């Protein structure tokens, strides 16, 4: 509450000080006017030879000048007070800014608890390591799968090549067979099939395939 109302108090005091300064200036102007009038009266009495009147007016003039000097002193004091209030107002603004900054820092420090922050960083590192291990395991598994697939494809290519070679030889032999064989009964066809199987076995043994 003090922080809220203090600027208003400063403004009110400055307003009062400015009013006081104006009042003092008016009083000084009035004293200067009276001072000139007394000086004229003293000169007038001196011309007429009225010494008692001159002494009395001179005393009044001395008092008036003292009062005028007091107005300068008071005016100087008011100016000093006004300056001090401005300085205090600036200091209170800085104090308010520092207070707000301190509250912000306090709130941030509460959110950024060193222990919690350290724990968070450790958890992140731990989970990151787990993720990297999982990714590595998945990659290894995929590599094994694709490598196995490649081996199967390579083996299949070899088998296909062998069978193609056998098929080509069988086709060649079948092409050289008498054309009349095509018209033999089914029993003769069965015999040709048996010969063909033997030929296949022979070719496989030649290639080292049991």
Burial of 41-71, coded b for 16+ CB within 10 Å and e otherwise, reads bbeebeeeeeeeebeebbeebeebeeebeeb
Render pLDDT for 134-159 as a digit per residue (tens, 0 to 9): 888 888 887 776 665 555 566 666 65
Distance between CA atoms of 61 and 42, rounded to whole angstroms? Answer: 9
pLDDT tens digits, one per residue of 199-210:
767 766 666 655
Q: Which two tokens stand for residue 67?
A: 């009062």
Alpha helices in the chain (DSSP H): 2-48, 51-111, 114-176, 186-206
Distance CA 105, CA 97 (A): 12
14-23, 136-145, 181-190: the lowest-pLDDT one = 181-190
How far apart CA 9 and CA 18 sit, in angstroms, is 14
pLDDT-above-90 percentage for the chain: 9
Express each pLDDT in 116-138 by its tens digit.
778 888 888 888 888 888 888 88
Pair 62, 38: CB distance under 8 Å: no
Which pLDDT score, from 0 to 100, does residue 30 have?
92
Read off the DSSP letter of residue 178: -
Report the 10 Å Cβ neighbour count for 17: 19
Categorise residue 208: left if φ over 0, alpha if ψ from -120 to 50, beta otherwise: left
d(Cα 147, Cα 149) in Å, to the nearest integer?
5
Taking a C-beta distance cutoff of 8 angstroms, is the pair 149, 175 a contact? no
Q: What are the angstrom distances between the C-alpha of 98 and each of 6, 52, 95, 109?
A: 16, 69, 5, 16
pTM exceeds 0.85, yes or no: no
């Amino acid at each position: 509450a003090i922080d809220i109302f203090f600027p208003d108090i400063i403004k009110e005091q400055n307003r009062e000080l400015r009013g006081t300064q104006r009042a003092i200036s008016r009083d000084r102007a009035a004293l200067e006017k009276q001072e000139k009038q007394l000086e004229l009266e003293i000169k007038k009495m001196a011309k007429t030879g009225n010494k008692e009147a001159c002494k009395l007016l001179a005393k009044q003039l001395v008092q008036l000048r003292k009062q005028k000097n007091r107005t300068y002193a008071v005016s100087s004091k008011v100016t000093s007070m006004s300056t001090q209030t401005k300085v205090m107002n600036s200091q209170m603004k800085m104090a308010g800014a520092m207070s707000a900054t301190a509250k912000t820092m306090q709130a941030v420090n509460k959110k950024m608890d060193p222990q919690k922050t350290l724990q968070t960083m450790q958890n992140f590192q731990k989970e990151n390591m787990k993720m990297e291990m999982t990714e590595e395991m998945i990659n290894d598994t995929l590599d094994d799968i694709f490598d196995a697939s490649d081996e199967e494809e390579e083996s299949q290519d070899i088998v296909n090549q062998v069978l193609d070679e056998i098929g080509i030889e069988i086709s060649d032999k079948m092409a050289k067979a008498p054309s009349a064989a095509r018209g033999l009964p089914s029993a003769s066809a069965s015999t040709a099939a048996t010969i063909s199987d033997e030929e296949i076995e022979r070719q496989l043994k030649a290639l080292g395939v049991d």
